[in-house]
A and B are shown apart, each in its own frame.
Chain A
Amino acid sequence: MIWTELDTWIVLTGALTAMACAVPGVFLLLNKQSMLGDAISHAVLPGLAIGFLVSGSRDSFPMLLGAVLAGLFTAVVSGVIERRGRVETGASLGVVFCSLFALGLILIRIAADHVDLDPGCVLYGALELAVIDSAAVPRIVWQSTAILLLNLTLAAVFFKELQVAAFDPRFAKASGIPSGGIHHGLTVVTALTTVVAFESVGSILVIAMLIVPGASAMLLSRSVAGVLFWSLVVALASALAGHLLAISVAPEWLGWLTGRQDLGSLNSAGMMAASAGLIFFSLLAASHFARSISGRGRASVL
Chain B
Amino acid sequence: MRFFVCAAAVCLLLMVGSARAGLDVVCTTGMVADLVREVAGDRAKVTALISDGVDPHLYKPTRDDVAKLLKADVIFYSGLHLEGRMEASFEKMRQRGIKVCAVTSSIPEEQLLKEGDAEDPHVWMDPLVWAGCIGAVEATLSQADSQGGATFKDNATRIKARLEALSEWIRTAAATIPPEKRVLITAHDAFQYFGHSAGIEVMGLQGLSTESEAGVADINRIVDEIVKRQIPAVFFESTLSEKNIRAVIEGAAARGHTVNLGGMLYSDSLGAAGTPEATCEGMLKHNTRTITNALGGNAP
**Chain A residues near B (Cβ < 8 Å):** 4, 6-7, 10, 56-58, 60, 105, 108-109, 113-118, 120-126, 128-129, 131-134, 202, 243, 246-247, 264-268, 270
Contact = CB atoms under 8 A, between A and B. Distances in A.
Nearest to B94: A134
A83 B60 CA distance: 40
B64 A120 contact: no
B179 interface: no
Given A132-B89, A132-B93, A133-B92, A114 B67 contact: no
Contact of B63 (A7, A120, A122, A202): A7
Interface in B115-132: 115-118
A115 B85 contact: no
A247 B63 contact: yes
Contacts of A10: 63
A45 B86 CA distance: 20
Nearest to B56: A121
Interface stretch (B142-150, B209-217, B233-241, B243-251): B209-217
Contacts of A4: 67
Contacts of B93: 132
A120 B57 contact: yes
Contacts of A120: 57-58, 84, 211
Contact of B115 (A114, A122, A202): A114
- For the complex, would chain B's binding face be called helix, strand, loop or mixed by DSSP majority? loop
A112 to B, nearest CB: 8
A302 B53 CA distance: 48
27 contacts: A6-B63, A58-B118, A60-B85, A108-B212, A109-B212, A109-B215, A113-B208, A113-B209, A114-B116, A115-B115, A115-B116, A116-B209, A120-B58, A121-B57, A121-B81, A121-B211, A125-B85, A126-B85, A128-B63, A128-B66, A129-B61, A129-B89, A132-B96, A134-B92, A246-B63, A265-B62, A268-B62
Nearest to A139: B92
Contacts of B24: none
B64 A265 contact: yes
B63 A113 contact: no
Contact of B208 (A57, A114, A265, A266): A114
Contact of B81 (A58, A125, A246, A247): A58
Nearest to A111: B116
Contacts of A131: 66
A80 B45 CA distance: 59
A267 B189 CA distance: 29
Contacts of B92: 132-134
A246 B95 CA distance: 28
Given A109-B212, A124-B85, A118 B57 contact: yes
Which 5 pairs of residues, A with B, have the shortest CB-CB distance? A118-B211, A114-B115, A134-B95, A113-B207, A121-B84
B197 to A, nearest CB: 20
- For the complex, would chain A's binding face be called helix, strand, loop or mixed by DSSP majority? loop
Contacts of B61: 126, 128-129
Contacts, number: 111
Contacts of B84: 116, 120-122
B28 to A, nearest CB: 12
Contact of A202 (B60, B86, B95, B209): B60
Contacts of B65: 128, 264-265
B298 to A, nearest CB: 34
B79 to A, nearest CB: 13
Contacts of B86: 126, 129
A122 to B, nearest CB: 6
A87 B116 CA distance: 43
B139 interface: no
A115 B64 contact: no
A257 to B, nearest CB: 18
A7 B70 CA distance: 13
B70 A6 contact: yes
Contacts of B66: 6, 128-129, 131-132
B88 interface: yes
A117 B210 CA distance: 9
Given A121-B209, A268-B62, A114 B118 contact: yes
A56 B212 contact: no
A265 B62 CA distance: 6
A246 B212 contact: no
A209 B65 CA distance: 25
Contacts of B115: 114-115
Contact of B212 (A105, A247, A265, A270): A105
A267 to B, nearest CB: 5
Interface in B9-64: 57-58, 60-64
